Structure 1
């Protein structure tokens, strides 16, 4: 499905979502953390720290720091790959799936009812 927005409309939508999330008082993610989380939930698994770093063109420590925070929020979990103990698999959680779904709902609601400038 193609969505056609002018730059100003796209930015207003992003602002509306950011304001809604800020007002909700839930833990918020940095843009980098959100990109990592959405990659984990929208791209097919398996996900590894090495693979996420390559996909997002960032270092493995950047991914590890983000996963530390998201793990504390129970949005993702990490486990050793039993087939290759050198790899750490990043797995989805129920809490994370609900977080991503709710975030999608906020985007849809903001797109349907944009705020006034």
Structure 2
């Protein structure tokens, strides 16, 4: 099976796009980072290191300290695809993150986004 091209996208570029999307909807880069850290287990320093290290998405998720145990509660559609039905584990993680950032941009409360 061929490797999906999105896996080689630079996380720093994706992060910048997430921040832009959030800011267009009057949300903050801090909220974006909070979501990313919640999902992946990175702390602020680890997240900065991933951004500055120019790692790709595959490396970013491979080096993540731990995926949050409540990721199974992330459900819904992103780009016409149900995140809970994505078979490839790496693509599912990417879609989880996309879904959470979409929820942020749509004005959802952080408590709900973080499945608390």
Q: TM-score, normalised by structure 2?
A: 0.29
Task: Give 1 or 2 for the bigger CA radius of gyration.
Answer: 1
Structure having the larger proportion of residues in strand: 1
